[in-house]
Amino acid sequence: MQKISVLSALCVGVCAMALSSATMEAQSLLVVNQGDATVSVVDPVTQQKVAVIEEKTGNVHGHEITVSPDGKTAYLPIYGSTGVGKPGIDGHEMFFIDVPSRTITSRLDFGHGIRPHLPVLDPVSGLLYVTTELDKTVTVIDPKTRKIVGTVPTGQEQSHMLVLSHDGKLGYTANVGPGTVSVLDLKERKTLAVIPVAGEVQRISISNDDKLVFTSDYTKPQLVVIDTATRKVKQTIALPNLGYGSASTKDGKWLLIAVPQAKQVAVIDLKAMKVARTIDVPALPQEVLIRPDDKVAYVSCNESGQVAAINLGTWAVQKIISTSPLADGLGWAKR
């Protein structure tokens, strides 16, 4: 009986590993590359680039991407030819990408140059929100009909990034040049508050309990922590250098933030509210994506054209994945 139990346990373990591998193989990491206007498809098992989707947009390119809950459709706004607040060609479209076939199937035209940037799906309402900064708005899109159904004013210039509360009721935009954060009522589609933060801000994320919003002060090496109940700055956290994109682990214990000039990712202890450790990564880390299983964080490294895969158990870089020039936005396709 003991031998049968051991064999059974071994079989269960092997089967579980096989199932885990099969599950991972059915998923993909998508990386938006500004340098050559492409989207890299990365296999999370082999941690290698397995395909490239060409935007074929000439001088304009996408920066950010997100994927439908079923993993079949990716949404890629085409921002333009430049960075936020800089002169250049203004994008006016968003692409719908069929992830399994890795092809662009349709496009949505916003009607004029609007610099559409970050797409965010609300799992509660099913609506897609896209920052459209030249209009000082967030545009609301129905992914099923692929049509614009409304807008939410931000009341500020350069509303570049957006994060939603987990119930889908509120949105928060990082307004780069003004150095503010706008609080949005997504149901009523109106601005509730504009929070002064710094001379300039970059990126934005939210805690898993929705109590805190984080944005990087881009004039000082510090992370700004906003209390969502009072809609005021609660505190700041010192960083090794100017911060950029951030994301919380699913267990709510840690916040990982890219520190581009230091070529590091800082890990913030959300209980102690201070940097607990730093991790060296390739040049100019930009965005952080926590894998759904909370085991790996992917960090796009813009200047090096790579993605660093960080093991969240050991806090070590387990793989450097080559993508394409100016790797930026990250998306997770779960199928």
DSSP 8-state code for residue 262 = G
Tens of pLDDT, residues 268-285: 999 999 999 999 999 999
Tell me the average pLDDT of the chain.
93
Within-domain flag for 81: yes
pTM: 0.92
**CA-to-CA dists, residue 21 to 49, 179, 266, 308, angstroms:** 17, 44, 29, 20
- Report d(CA 318, CA 312) in Å as an integer: 10
- CA–CA gap between residue 334 and residue 67 (Å, rounded): 8
The answer to the question of residue 39 being in a domain is no
Task: Specify the DSSP element, H or E, that contains 22.
Answer: helix 2-25
Q: Which domain holds residue 109?
A: 59-238
179-205 pLDDT, tens digit per residue, is 999 999 999 999 999 999 999 999 999
161: CATH: 2.130.10.10
pLDDT surpassing 60 at residue 14: no
The rounded distance, in Å, linking the Cα atoms of 316 and 261 is: 19
Rounded distance, CA 228 to CA 76, Å? 29
- pLDDT of amino acid 29: 98
User: Cβ–Cβ contacts within 10 Å for residue 303, how many?
Assistant: 16
- More confident call, 25 vs 144: 144
pLDDT at 8: 42
| Residue 308: inside a domain | no
Compute and round to an integer the Cα radius of gyration of the chain: 20
pLDDT for residue 223 is more than 60: yes
Residue at 108 is within a domain: yes
Residue 152 belongs to some domain of the structure: yes
pLDDT, average across residues 312-325: 97
Q: pLDDT tens, 61-113?
A: 999 999 999 999 999 999 999 999 999 999 999 999 999 999 999 999 999 99
Q: Measuring CA to CA, which residue among 279, 280, 278, 286 is closest to residue 323? A: 286
186 inside domain: yes
Encode pLDDT of 106-139 as tens digits. 999 999 999 999 999 999 999 999 999 999 999 9
> Cα–Cα distance between 102 and 155 in angstroms, integer?
37
Confidence of residue 16 (pLDDT cuts 50, 70, 90): very low
Whether the pLDDT of residue 7 is over 50: the answer is no
Domain count, the chain: 1
Residue type at 258 in one-letter notation: A
The answer on pLDDT for 140 being more than 60 is: yes
Q: What is the pLDDT of residue 132?
A: 98
What per-residue confidence (pLDDT) applies to 189? Answer: 98
- Give percent of the chain with pLDDT exceeding 70: 92
pLDDT in tens, 28-40: 999 999 999 999 9
Quick one: pLDDT band at residue 320, thresholds 50, 70, 90? very high
Q: Left (φ > 0), alpha (ψ -120 to 50) or beta: where does 80 sit?
A: left
pLDDT of 245 strictly over 90: yes
Res. 22: pLDDT tops 60? no
State the pLDDT at residue 26. Answer: 73
pLDDT at 9 over 50: no
- Indicate whether 333 belongs to any domain: no
Whole-number percent of the chain with pLDDT over 90: 91
The answer to whether position 93 is within a domain reads yes
d(CA 289, CA 129): 18
